Amino acid sequence: MSEITLGARRPVIVRRRRWRIPGAAIPYLFLAPATLWYAAFLVYPMLQSLYVSFFDWDGLSPSMTFVGLENYINIFAVDDVARLALWNNILWTLGALVLPTLFGLLLALALNRRAPASTLFRTIFYSPAVLPLVAVGLIWAWMYNPHFGVVNVTLKAVGLRSWANGWLSDYTMALPATFVTFIWSHVGFPMIFYLAGLQAISKEYYEAATIDGANAFQRFRHVTMPGLAETHVIVLSLAVINGFKVFDLVYTMTYGGPGRSTQVLGTWMYFQTFQYYHAGYGSALAWVIAAIVLVIAIPYIRRMSRG
């Protein structure tokens, strides 16, 4: 009988496969948490709001009644307050396109120099832009107080007693008075953008224009304004957006009154949703605001960018 001698067995080494992440996928992995957060707290509520806008719902009960486009039709065909609010938004946006933009450009031109106090004045004019709009609205509502407000007290002190008014309780003056507050709080944004745009224009262009005999106005027209083309796009687009999403100032200063004279789409959406419990109708108003901003802003940006 033959003997079979078995040698010592060699240990079996099991090699684990290492999963390697492709280099191109690493940036997306870092973005994934923020993307999920964005989708959960912004995209999903937006889509839910769009879904609710096609229903009659009080925002509390589990049952909803599908009404199709009825909420949207009512905004333009039935609801007089919504049409007034839309008109006020249009007026507000037109004013936002002109006055804060113009004042911001003038301030930027005045402060675009190396003067000892230029930094101080830039800070002073920009500081209202960083204040919460709710606080700004409350401060200016106190200033407009007909009895002890700074505005009326100053007018009476300089002999203009007849000009003193109950600014926020006057049906015709409430909206303009509120818009003055908007100008004060928003002029800092275009000023900063225009300052950045002015400092990006090469001094050589101005020197060449001066050598060619251009005066100050011609240099402004043919050098400064073309050099600020991209800045104009940013400033005017933000003005349109701010004009249609206005809410804080109107709510804190006038509460949409007196009567309905200062209602804007943002405040009317709030009242419909949280006071009258018409969540579906309020969602429709929100999407009307979003649609108007997109329709106005996107084509304008494309046209200006191509031009």
What does each of the 307 residues of the chain score in pLDDT, given as a tens digit? 445 555 556 665 555 666 666 767 777 788 888 888 888 888 889 999 999 999 999 988 888 999 999 999 999 999 999 999 999 999 999 999 999 999 999 999 999 888 778 889 999 999 999 999 999 999 999 999 998 999 999 999 999 888 888 999 999 999 999 999 999 999 999 999 999 999 999 889 888 989 888 898 899 999 999 999 888 888 988 898 899 989 999 999 999 989 899 999 999 999 999 999 999 999 999 999 999 888 877 766 676 666 5
Q: For residues 284 and 168, is the Cβ–Cβ distance under 8 A?
A: no
Q: For residues 206 and 215, is the Cβ–Cβ distance under 8 A?
A: no
Which residue carries 């889509």 as its tokens? 47
Angle at 172 between CA 291 and CA 292, to 5 degrees: 5
What the chain holds in terms of domains, given with CATH numbers, is: 81-306 (1.10.3720.10)
Cα→Cα distances 300→22, 234, 243, Å: 40, 10, 15
User: Which residue, among 299, 297, 177, 304, has the nearest Cα to 242 in the 3D structure?
Assistant: 297
Assign 3-state DSSP to the chain and report helix, strand, coil percentages, each to 5. Answer: 70, 0, 30
Helices (H) and strands (E) in the chain, counts: 16, 2
Query: For the whole model, what pTM was predicted?
Result: 0.84
> Dihedral sign, CA of 231, 179, 85, 130?
positive
Residue 117: phi and psi, rounded to 5, are: -100, 5
Structure token pair of residue 230: 């991209």
Q: Measured between alpha carbons, how far is 264 from 243 in angstroms, rounded to an integer? A: 10
Q: Measured between alpha carbons, how far is 27 from 132 in angstroms, rounded to an integer? A: 35
Exposed e or buried b for every residue in 131-145, given b needs 16+ CB within 10 A?
A: eebeebbebbbebbe
Q: Are strands 55-56 and 65-66 parallel, antiparallel or unpaired?
A: antiparallel
pLDDT of residue 15: 58
Q: For residues 58 and 277, is the Cβ–Cβ distance under 8 A?
A: yes
Which residue carries 């960018």 as its tokens? 305
pLDDT of residue 43: 86
Residue 270's CB: how many other CB atoms inside 10 A?
18
Q: Measured between alpha carbons, how far is 223 from 94 in angstroms, rounded to an integer? A: 27
Q: Where are the alpha helices (DSSP H) in 112-128?
A: 118-126
Structure token pair of residue 203: 């001094």
Strand partners of residue 55: 66
pLDDT of residue 307: 57
User: Which residue, among 102, 124, 253, 236, has the nearest Cα to 181 in the 3D structure?
Assistant: 253
Q: Measured between alpha carbons, how far is 61 from 204 in angstroms, rounded to an integer? A: 67
The crossing angle, in degrees rounded to 10, of helices 118-126 and 188-200 is 140
- Integer-rounded Cα Rg, in Å, for the chain is 30
pLDDT of residue 19: 64
